[in-house]
C-alpha cells in the first residue's frame, strides 16, 4: 500500500497495523484451509501412513490403491474427506482419472505425492527384461504420468507441490538393484528439471530420498532372483537385506509427518535425504564422486580446443 506525502505518522501507523492484521488473518485462514492430497501407492507402508497423517491433520485425500477395500477402515473413520481410487500408475487413463477425482470431489489439487514403487533384486545379467521394464515403468514413468496429469490443474491454480518419494538409491549404486536405482536416478533428474520449469508458476517440487524404513519394502514385497555364484559377493550382499522390517532405521509414521512438515514450508528443499542411514550413505557417495572427479580433472579438461576462449574453458568462472 502507498500513502501520499501528506499522510501523517499516526495514519501510517494505523494503516500499517490494519494491513498487518489483514495479512495475519489471511495467513491464518490459509493455514486453516484443508489441503487436497493425491497419494499413490497408498494401500500400505509409507503411502498409507501419509494418508493417515494428512487426514489426522484435517486435510482431504484422494488415495490411489490397487484395491479400494484396502482403505475401508480409514474411510469409515474419516468419511468423505477420504476418497480411495483404483490407481495403477502404469496406466495413463488411471492417472488422469485420479486427478479428475481430486478436482471433482474437492475442487483443487494442492499436493501430489508420487509414492508407488517396488524393487526386485537380481544381477544386470540375469534380471528379465520385462521385469526391468516394469520396474522402470512403475518407479519412474509412473511418476511422470501422474505429474503430467496434475500439472494442468496446478498451473491453472498457480500453486501446488509435487512430492516424489524416491530413495537414497537415487544417489548411489547398489549391486542387485539396477532397475530400481536406474528409475530413482531418473526421478531425481526429472524432478530437478521440473522444478526449474514450474517454479515460476508457483509450483513446488521436492524429492524425498529415504533410506531403510520399517515397511515391507525389503521384506515380502521384494523378490530375489536366483543369484549366480559369480555374483554372490556383490548381488548376494544386497539380497541379505531381504529381511524383517524391524532392522530398518526409520519409522514410516515419522516419515509421513515429515512429508506434512515439508509441504507446509514456504521454501521447501528440492532434494531431502530422509533417515540417518540415508544421510550417511548419500554423503559418502557424494564425497567419493567428487574425489573421482578431482582425480581425473586434467584428463577431463584435456579435450579443449586449442583456440578455446577463457569463457569456454571455465563457463562458471571458478576453475583453478
118 is catalytic: no
Residue 245 near residue 218, CB atoms below 8 Å = yes
Residue from 167, 178, 180, 281 carrying the catalytic annotation: 180
Q: Which segments of the chain does DSSP mark as H helices, in order?
A: 9-32, 45-56, 72-78, 92-106, 129-136, 142-157, 178-198, 235-239, 252-263, 276-295, 297-301, 310-313
Place of cell 506434512: 260
C-alpha cell at 118: 517396488
> Cα separation of 199 and 267, whole Å?
11
Report the chain's C-alpha Rg in angstroms: 24
CA distance 177 to 235: 8
Q: Which residues of 275-311 are buried (b: 16+ CB within 10 A; e: fewer)?
A: bebbeebbeeeeeeeeeeeeeeeeeeeeeeeeeeeee
Tell me the β-bridge partners of 206.
Answer: 163
Of these residues, 184, 231, 250, 281, which one is catalytic?
184
Given 166, 167, 178, 191, which residue is catalytic? 166
Cα dihedral sign, 166-241-289-277: positive
Q: Specify whether 182 is catalytic.
A: no
3-state helix, strand, coil in the chain (%, to 5): 55, 15, 30
283: cell is 554423503
Distance from C-alpha of 62 to C-alpha of 42, rounded to nearest angstrom: 9
- Residue 184 annotated as catalytic: yes
Active site residues: 166, 180, 184
Amino acid at each position: 500500500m502507498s500513502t501520499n506525502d501528506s499522510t501523517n505518522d499516526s495514519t501510517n501507523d494505523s494503516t500499517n497495523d490494519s494491513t498487518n492484521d489483514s495479512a495475519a488473518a489471511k495467513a491464518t485462514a490459509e493455514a486453516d484451509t484443508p489441503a487436497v492430497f493425491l497419494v499413490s501407492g497408498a494401500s500400505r507402508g509409507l503411502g498409507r501412513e501419509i494418508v493417515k497423517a494428512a487426514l489426522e491433520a484435517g486435510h482431504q485425500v484422494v488415495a490411489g490403491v490397487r484395491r479400494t477395500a484396502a482403505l475401508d477402515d480409514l474411510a469409515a473413520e474419516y468419511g468423505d474427506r477420504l476418497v480411495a481410487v483404483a490407481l495403477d500408475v502404469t496406466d495413463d487413463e488411471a492417472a488422469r482419472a485420479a486427478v479428475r477425482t481430486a478436482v471433482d470431489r474437492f475442487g483443487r489439487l494442492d499436493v501430489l505425492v508420487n509414492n508407488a514403487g517396488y524393487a526386485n533384486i537380481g544381477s544386470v545379467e540375469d534380471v528379465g527384461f520385462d521385469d526391468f521394464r516394469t520396474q522402470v515403468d512403475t518407479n519412474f514413468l509412473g511418476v511422470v504420468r501422474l505429474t503430467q496429469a496434475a500439472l494442468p490443474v496446478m498451473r491453472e491454480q498457480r500453486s501446488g507441490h509435487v512430492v516424489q518419494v524416491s530413495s537414497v538409491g537415487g544417489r548411489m549404486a547398489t549391486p542387485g538393484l539396477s532397475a530400481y536405482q536406474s528409475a530413482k536416478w531418473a526421478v531425481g533428474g526429472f524432478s530437478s528439471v521440473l522444478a526449474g520449469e514450474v517454479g515460476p508458476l508457483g509450483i513446488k517440487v521436492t524429492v524425498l530420498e529415504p533410506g531403510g524404513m520399517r515397511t515391507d519394502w525389503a521384506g515380502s514385497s521384494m523378490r530375489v532372483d536366483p543369484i549366480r555364484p559369480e555374483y554372490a559377493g556383490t548381488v548376494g550382499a544386497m539380497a541379505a537385506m531381504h529381511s524383517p522390517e524391524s532392522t530398518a532405521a526409520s519409522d514410516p509414521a515419522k516419515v509421513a509427518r515429515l512429508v506434512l512438515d515439508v509441504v507446509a514450508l514456504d521454501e521447501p528443499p528440492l532434494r531431502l535425504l530422509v533417515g540417518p542411514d540415508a544421510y550417511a550413505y548419500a554423503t559418502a557417495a557424494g564425497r567419493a564422486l567428487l574425489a573421482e572427479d578431482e582425480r581425473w580433472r586434467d584428463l577431463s579438461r584435456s579435450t579443449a580446443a586449442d583456440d578455446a576462449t577463457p569463457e569456454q574453458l571455465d563457463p562458471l568462472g571458478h576453475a583453478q
